[in-house]
A and B are shown apart, each in its own frame.
Chain A
Amino acid sequence: MTHKTATVLIAFAGITLTTLIATASGPAQRPAAATHRTPVELGAYLVSTMGCHDCHTPWKLGPKGPEPDMSRALTGHPEDLKMPPAPALPAGPWMASFAATNTAWAGPWGVSFTANLTPDKETGLGDWTEEQFIAALRTGKHQGKGRQILPPMPWSVYGRLVDEEVKALWAYLQSLAPVKNRVPQPIDPPEGSQR
């Protein structure tokens, strides 16, 4: 056993202990959190990487095909886009149809419209609280207590984020400019149809 070996072992023990302590304290185990200094920055990163724009930002047809219209970022289903009845699906294992904007979805649950996530008081998340937002993602219930959050929103995936990350999402969404866009309430499926 040389001094050099002992030094290496001590360093290894030190590093692993540091890792243990850091792990116990939480944030350092998540690279994303470590590289974004503020909750808003982390929230922006999460929103951009977890697919929020895929449904909450209306799509438009760009030069390379459908793409989110970032001029209407996270404003949900456009208020002025009145959807006709959903088309009848052909026989076979088909379940749902969706609007060209990717903001309205029809399926066995009825028709759902993606929400306005900007902090507009009347039409967005402006009158929500952080508690309600967290509870909504944890429980799949509107404001944490209301009706079910409908497909295709993968709330159960986001509900597994740690508190720090959900709070960062909230901080980022609340930092956006409020946009008034009243999204329609969901439409029930016809009576007697499958839930």
Chain B
Amino acid sequence: MTRKLTRMLLTLAACAWAGAVAMRAGGATDNDVPSAPPPGRLSETGLYADRDALIIDQRNRPFTPQYPLWSDGAAKRRWVRLPDGATIDARDVNRWDFPVGTTFWKEFAFGGRKVETRMFRKVARDRWDFASYAWQDDQRDATLVPRDGLARVAEVAPGKWHNIPSHDECRACHDAGRTEVLGFSALQLSDDRDPLAPHAEPLEPGMVTLASLVAERRIAGLASRLITTPPRVAGRTPVERAVLGYLSTNCGSCHNRESSIASLGLFLKYAIASPRTCTADALATTIGHTGHWAVPDAPDGTSRVVAPGAPARSALLRRAQSRRPSSQMPPIGTVLADRDALRLVTEWIDALEGPPAAPCAVSAPATTAAARRPATSRTGR
């Protein structure tokens, strides 16, 4: 046995031991860590053609959904980039399939200052990853935020702060339905815009719409009826149209037939109808239903998810009004109640006289998101 062998064995033992210790210390091997980490700065993500002047790359196209998500009054700008020559598969009108490489950005600003930009990119056939960037004080670039998010990045009202969500919080909405992409769909891009949609932003020249996607041949398989007649929410009144659209965006990301909480039986996601599809899940599962949460000061037995003609007994409205942790809805992404939307929902409930004449059949979903995706997972942490 030589000294060389001794050194080799010692080295082998030391390396093995160090490896074991390192793996214990490092611990986390998250199941959902992206294979290629997002860049450390927003300016490195491809959003800008000119990093210094912050000029948007023209391949990144602006768009605005007709029913925006309420984000405490943030001014938002959004862009999408589709890989060159690739198209969106729209054969399933309620679940567009985007080509790998598709990237979305969404910028949040409060009081004229950019606060946060989120990036959402498709990195594999069934996988999107998230990144959030917090803007620097000098507004020249934004820095990648840790997976756990970042609290108190902008005061949106006295004592109320905008927080950058954690990845788990991102997934709470973006992993809860038939598609991970929430603001870019046939309904959201429809050229038949809802004039009563709360906080809707005007369509600017050059923005992506359903018609522009068709004209530019960036979408395939879209039903021809949606090309000739852009989709719209089938409300019985203009107010109901706007309310159902608003609820679809702000509540339907979690409350839908494919969500892990589908067992609650509350379906607010608006699905573009085929002849065999119910057009008004939101009516059928709210109006007159007892629900799981009772309005605290309603007389016993009178609380309803939506009580026709009685906003004060309507749990949906009361929870949308609340920003208390025990009752707030939606539970994340907002610290201020949406007064404009509350007025609209109140008007709608006030005018309701009863359940819809032809309520939709409500059945458990055949395939849930739970069955399609692994549970939120964290190993070794």
- A residues neighboring B (CB under 8 Å): 1-3, 5-6, 9-10, 12-13, 16-17, 19-20, 23-24, 26, 29, 109-110, 112, 127, 129-132, 134-135, 138-139, 141, 143-148, 150, 160, 162-163, 185-189, 195
Contacts and interface: CB of A to CB of B under 8 A. Distances in A.
Contacts of A19: 16-17, 20
B90 interface: no
Given A24-B23, A138-B378, A147 B331 contact: yes
Contact of A16 (B13, B293, B332, B370): B13
Contact of A150 (B12, B293, B325): B325
A183 to B, nearest CB: 12
A110 B328 CA distance: 13
A23 B29 CA distance: 12
A29 B24 contact: yes
B3 A139 contact: no
A145 B259 contact: yes
Contacts of B3: 1
Contacts of B10: 9
Contacts of A189: 324
Contact of B6 (A5, A109, A147, A163): A5
B375 A20 contact: no
B12 A13 contact: yes
B305 to A, nearest CB: 14
Interface string B369-381: 0100001111111
A20 B19 contact: yes
B336 to A, nearest CB: 13
Given A1-B5, A195-B325, A146 B376 contact: no
B296 interface: yes
A129 B16 CA distance: 40
Contact of A132 (B260, B294, B332, B377): B260
Contacts of B169: 139
Interface of B: 1-3, 5-6, 9-10, 12-13, 16-17, 19-20, 23-24, 168-169, 172, 176, 254, 259-261, 263, 293-294, 296, 322-329, 331-332, 370, 375-381
A127 B260 CA distance: 11
A148 to B, nearest CB: 4
A147 B1 contact: no
Contacts of A26: 379-380
A109 B325 contact: yes
Tell me the interface secondary structure of chain B in the complex.
Answer: loop
A127 B380 contact: no
Most chain A CB neighbours (cut-off 10 Å) among B20, B323, B381: B20
Contacts of B6: 1, 5-6, 9
A75 B259 CA distance: 27
29 contacts: A1-B5, A6-B9, A17-B16, A19-B16, A19-B20, A20-B17, A23-B20, A23-B23, A109-B324, A110-B324, A129-B263, A130-B375, A131-B375, A131-B376, A132-B261, A135-B172, A135-B376, A139-B168, A139-B376, A141-B172, A141-B331, A145-B259, A146-B261, A147-B326, A148-B326, A150-B326, A185-B296, A185-B326, A188-B324
Nearest to A112: B326
Given A1-B3, A2-B1, A19-B16, A144 B296 contact: no
Nearest to B322: A188
Contact of B176 (A3, A10, A145): A145
Contact of A134 (B5, B322, B375): B375
A185 B16 CA distance: 53
Nearest to A2: B1
B1 A3 contact: yes
B20 A16 contact: yes
A139 B172 contact: yes
B1 A163 contact: no
B121 to A, nearest CB: 23
**CB-based closest 9 A-B pairs:** A186-B326, A16-B16, A148-B325, A13-B13, A131-B375, A9-B9, A16-B17, A20-B20, A1-B1
Nearest to B328: A147
Contacts of A5: 1, 6
Contacts of A127: 263
A147 B17 contact: no
B261 A185 contact: no
A144 B326 contact: no
Contacts of A6: 1, 5-6, 9
Contacts of A16: 13, 16-17, 20
Nearest to A127: B263
Most chain A CB neighbours (cut-off 10 Å) among B17, B261, B294, B377: B261
Contact of B379 (A129, A162, A195): A162
Given A147-B326, A162-B378, A131 B23 contact: no
Contacts of B20: 16, 19-20, 23
A148 B331 contact: yes
